[in-house]
Structure 1
Amino acid sequence: MRPVALSLILALLAGCTAGPLIDTRYNARSQDSRVQYVVLHYTSEDLQGSLRQLTQGSVSSHYLIDAKPATIYRLVGEERRAWHAGDSQWHGRTWLNASSIGIELVNPGYLDTPNGRLWYPYPPEQIDALIVLLKEIVKRHGLGPQAIIGHSDIAPQRKVDPGPQFPWKRLAEAGLVVWPDARRVAELQARYAARLPGVAWFQEQLVRNGYALERHGVLDDKTRRVIAAFQMKYRPARFDGEPDAETAALLATLNGTG
């Protein structure tokens, strides 16, 4: 074979290996991060059990945060999809694995006892580490304060994590989530105590807040579970799923409909 022909063949083969030449001089204005939400979970396991479940099982998360010492483990790159959300919906967006970052916190969750359910608290240093991580994530992906949500928000019919002991207000104080103004809540609570809105109103307000729920005006089990998920987040002292005046005031304050 002639040297020139051989050189040409080698050059063609090298080009096939390298792939096509792509011109990257232009950049579209209309784009954003694939990440729209950050979903918080507890593991219901200790560290070793959590690592085993999240690295060897059928579920995964982008990050795992241990309690003591507060250590952050990255298990999945943020550019890749982790399997943490499952059947989920928030503000009409479904199956949130593709559009979210999952963060698991090592926490036993709860223990059922003869005296009722015992929920485990989160050590302050674990939440400190979470806040640092969240600030980096929201900056990296250009997320707003409505983007950080719990597993119980996106799947209230089957999930309760991160649970009533999770300190959402601490995240609000760090500027990471929206929190209802206490004075406005008190004003509206007095109004709603005199005349409580109907179930359809609660369903409409919960949907506005982001939850997936039918607006049929019936206080069924699904509606109660969604109300309980909302209460667990904003009024963790009592999350019985009952549509009361304080819950109405919290919803109206957050949604700006009071």
Structure 2
Amino acid sequence: MTPAERERLLVGILESLSDPRSAMAEGRPHQKAKGRAIDMLTLHFGSTGRVIYLAEELAVLYPGEDVFVPDILAVLDVPQPEDDPRMAWVVAEEGRGLSLVLKVLHQGDRNKDLVANVERYARLRIPEYFVYDRLRQQVHGYRLPGPDAPRYQRIVPQMGRYSSAVLGLDLAVSGGKLQFFYGMAELFGSADLIDRLQGMMSDLETRAEQAQAQAEQAMLGLREALLAALEMRGRPCPEPVRARVLSCQEPAMLHRWLMRAMSESSLDDVFAE
């Protein structure tokens, strides 16, 4: 494709997308669910090193087809560029079609997403298509049973999870949100990780405070034991000595003084440096 042809193609794509009927806005709930999903997937595949291209609301053009804009698309074996220059996924130019489409349905056209697109994506040989019905808290999964199959088969959930062969993950609704699972492990997005880290920090601070309280209690016990040992051996405890014991912040020194108080006869011997 020549630069001029590509420019004309992109102009046509942008013109088709300028029609508000072609892209119905579904509001903030839709945007948040979609953003969270691609965030989890991006973090997961970035950490595993698996080569997969992910994009959000990227225009897609198949030969002889109208442009469509999936919420999230995935293409296997295509690297994820750090700074993606693509303005559209043009199948004729890329040399391959999509591997998966994920739709977040909130208040959009249910017939389009659950009927028309099921037929269309199967005809385009997109191996998997998932719909997260946010309003009804359901997942719908579809998969081509073979590369030449004319229509999708519904993915049957196992224990509430819908398996994606393309992603190597399971999808499910958990806690009122779309969730991905890698084996038994739940994937987390950036916000989830921040919340977990904050929780861990809070827990560590609580444990540190508890440890400090226990240490202070132990120090108090050592001081009281030392003063009691001095009194039991009949040694008067002058106020300067008592003040020295009560102000000491070194457990090892308090322990050493206590051991001496059990055997030494004079205060000088007990508190000798």
TM range (shorter): under 0.3
More strand by share: 2
> Larger helix proportion, structure 1 or 2?
2
Name which one, 1 or 2, has greater alpha-carbon Rg.
2
Q: Which structure has the higher relative contact order (CA within 8 Å, separation 6+)?
A: 1
Q: TM-score, normalised by structure 1?
A: 0.26
